[in-house]
Amino acid sequence: MYETFAGVKTIMKQKQIIWTITLIAAFLVISGVQAKVSLAAPAPRSRGGSAKGATGAITGKILFEGTKPHLPQISMAQDPECVRERHGQAIRPDDGRVNPNDTLPNVFVYVKSGAQNDHFPTPASAVTLDQKGCVYVPHVLGIMVGQPLKVVNSDFTTHNIHVMSKNNPQWNQSQPPGGAPFYKKFAHPEVMVPVHCNEHPWMKAYIGVVANPLFAVTGQEGTFTIKGVPAGEYTLEAWTATFGTEEKTVTVHAHEATTVDFTFHHE
């Protein structure tokens, strides 16, 4: 009888071992299937400028056709220090200026629409607006919402920075010669924000406040390049202080540069 009981006990242990092995095997099979599913279907990444390998560029030129505007010489006689700063050099307005190669400088080119779902970090570095030789330098600049604007006075005379925004609070602040730089931020997109100096009426600048870094300003060659543009379709706008604005639709492909030219006319 003892031998019969021992045999039954042995058989029960064998069944327990078989069930244990079966459960372990089933667990391994299920884990392997889950791992394959995870590898086959990774979590989707949101589209954005930070996605590596997913961006292209927009390049182009701002052309001018027609009669170039007459730009009268600016008189700085009201401030002898400004006259001294310019060393007798004739100064003419930046607004309406045409480059020798029949292109336009100071054109703010930016992605007007199409990037609403993309997310770009706000730069911690400041964009500088200087007052040098009794003019604003640069004449046109771009800045992201929340990015610091650094205002500098490099002249030996007092300036007044009057920012006449509509979507953001206006501010009006004087800056003496040798005064410390001060910093401001814009809370909302706005294209463009006019800037004037109440001390020197010929001093003008324009600030393009945007929600992304997809912008550029043309220079002496009238060209622009906007890098880091996520692949997709966009509305691109070119803004000028004198000749109005132009819009074009552009499709950007990853790892490629798309060329878009604008032509402004004046009679």
- The DSSP secondary structure of the chain, one letter per residue, reads -HHHHHHHHHHHHHHHHHHHHHHHHHHHHHHHHHHHHHHHSPPPPPP-TTSTT-EEEEEEEEEEEEPPPP-PPPP-TT-HHHHHHHTT-----STT---TTSB-SS-EEEEEES-TT---PPPSSPEEEEEETTEEESSEEEEETT--EEEEE-SSS-EEEEE--SSS--EEEEE-TTPPPEEE--SS-EEEEEEE-SSSTT-EEEEEEESSS-EEE--TT-EEEEEEEESEEEEEEEE-SSS-EEEEEEEE-TT-EEE--EEEEE-
* Digit-coded pLDDT (tens) for 127-158: 999 999 999 999 999 999 999 999 999 999 99
Work out the average pLDDT over 233-262: 97
Please report whether residue 15 resides in a domain. Answer: no
pLDDT value, residue 16? 56
Say how many domains are in the chain.
Answer: 1
Please report whether residue 74 resides in a domain. Answer: no
Please report whether residue 196 resides in a domain. Answer: yes
pLDDT value, residue 230? 96
Please report whether residue 231 resides in a domain. Answer: yes
Please report whether residue 181 resides in a domain. Answer: yes
User: Residue 164: which domain range?
Assistant: 59-67+79-266
Query: How much is the mean pLDDT over the chain?
Result: 86
* Digit-coded pLDDT (tens) for 34-44: 333 333 333 33
Percentage of the chain lying above the pLDDT 70 cut: 80
Q: What CATH number is given to the structural domain containing 252?
A: 2.60.40.420
Q: Evaluate if residue 12 carries a pLDDT over 50.
A: no
